[in-house]
Amino acid sequence: MSSSNTYKFSFLILIFVLVCCFFANISLGSVSFSIKEIFNALLGVSDNYIIQNYRLPKAFTAILVGSGLGISGLLMQTLFRNPLAGPFVLGISSGASLGVALVILGSGFFGGVFTTLLVSKWSIVIAASLGSFLVLLAVLIVSSKVRDTMAILIIGLMFGSITAAVVSVLSYFSSAEQLQQYIFWGFGSLGNLSWYELFIFSTIILVGVVLSIFSIKALNTLLLGENYAKSLGLNIKQSRLIIIVATSLLAGTITAFAGPIAFIGLAIPHITRQIFTTSNHKILLPAVLLLGAIVMLICDSIAQLPTSDYMLPINAITSLIGAPVVIWLLVRKRKMMF
């Protein structure tokens, strides 16, 4: 079939662009290296601390974050049949925010000894994971009692509101210093991970991606709507659970390690649908994976403002770059693919 060939061609281009973006991302930064130096460092011929222990992990983090958020956004949009859904509709990021807020803003309540102990990087990662996990657990328990998938969406949004309110109360009682620290976490950051952390990070993302791949058939069936899916023999509750667990693994881990990164999860599936003009998840899933990684690498390259010593918050860049792209695509094609 000719259509599968055009897909293959598009995928080859995407992979090529991804490799280019990867090298561009590594070579750009506040310190500039020659191409030979970069290749030597990558191949392990010579030691280069900045590339090997800073830029390389950061590039991999960007790839994992972009792919993971893109996929979880795609899963949520299909499950809820809602183009506005993103990876965080189930309150995962608000749960993580609450966890982090409790650690950073709440450390004042726990007294002096804990303060330094609590506000380390791992404690923030653990707090964010715990927060998103608990909110997710609450959503899952409530959603096992409702039959309507749309109700889960609303329940997720409600949990988001509750946690946001708690964070507001906490911020009201916090010092300016603590608030600043919390806000900095909210900016998102890709560059903080060591190789060891990256290993744990990528393992969990891999599990999430594998679960998503096993959901491809269910996702395609869900395109017909839930009742048709049921009449085709799909076990709705089981598929729904797998999709939600995959999303929370992906989005929850990413929020824990890199902060609440906005926009990518919402936009990448839309951009992919516009490019590939299909709703078949066998095509969409790998395409979203590649495109998410590419966009995140580009955003990160811009965020580090090459040749300058400044670094912009990644969260601002993703929206600044991404939103106009989505608007442009929608206006140009005049037709929303969903």
* 273 touching other proteins, by CB under 8 A: yes
Q: Measuring CA to CA, which residue among 100, 98, 96, 93 is closest to residue 121?
A: 100
Proportion of the chain in helix, strand, coil states, percent, rounded to 5: 80, 0, 20
Shortest spacing between CB 268 and other proteins, in angstroms:
17
The Cα–Cα gap between 186 and 198 comes to 20
> What is the SS3 assignment for 311?
coil
Give the nearer residue to other proteins in terms of CB position, either 81 or 245.
81
Shortest spacing between CB 244 and other proteins, in angstroms:
18
Shortest spacing between CB 336 and other proteins, in angstroms:
9
Shortest spacing between CB 153 and other proteins, in angstroms:
14
Q: Could you please report the per-residue DSSP string of 16-71?
A: HHHHHHHHHHHH-SSS---HHHHHHHHHTSS--HHIIIIIHHHHHHHHHHHHHHHH
* 203 touching other proteins, by CB under 8 A: no
* 121 touching other proteins, by CB under 8 A: no
Shortest spacing between CB 17 and other proteins, in angstroms:
24
Q: What are phi and psi of 302, to 5 degrees?
A: -70, -40
Shortest spacing between CB 210 and other proteins, in angstroms:
12
Give the nearer residue to other proteins in terms of CB position, either 11 or 23.
11
* 151 touching other proteins, by CB under 8 A: no
Stretch that binds other proteins, among 44-52, 120-128, 279-287, 296-304 (CB under 8 A): 279-287
Shortest spacing between CB 85 and other proteins, in angstroms:
13
On the 0-12 / 13-18 / 19+ scale of CB atoms within 10 A, 84 is exposed
Q: Which of residues 32-91 bind other proteins (CB under 8 A)?
A: 81
Helix (H) or strand (E) holding 149: helix 149-172
* 278 touching other proteins, by CB under 8 A: yes
Give the nearer residue to other proteins in terms of CB position, either 105 or 234.
234
Site string for other proteins, 211-250 (x = CB under 8 A): --xx-xx--xxxxxx-xx-xxxxxx---------------
From the CB of residue 66, how many other CB atoms can be counted at a distance below 10 Å?
Answer: 31
Q: Which of residues 306-335 bind other proteins (CB under 8 A)?
A: 335
Shortest spacing between CB 140 and other proteins, in angstroms:
22
Give the nearer residue to other proteins in terms of CB position, either 192 or 279.
279
The Cα–Cα gap between 217 and 220 comes to 5
On the 0-12 / 13-18 / 19+ scale of CB atoms within 10 A, 281 is buried
Give the nearer residue to other proteins in terms of CB position, either 1 or 35.
1
Position among 109, 199, 328, 338 found at the interface with other proteins (CB under 8 A): 338
8 A C-beta contact, residue 40 and residue 243: no
8 A C-beta contact, residue 90 and residue 248: yes
Distances in whole angstroms, Cα of residue 264 to Cα of each of 19, 62, 104: 19, 11, 26
The contact set with other proteins (CB under 8 A) reads: 81, 213-214, 216-217, 220-225, 227-228, 230-235, 273, 277-280, 282, 335, 337-338
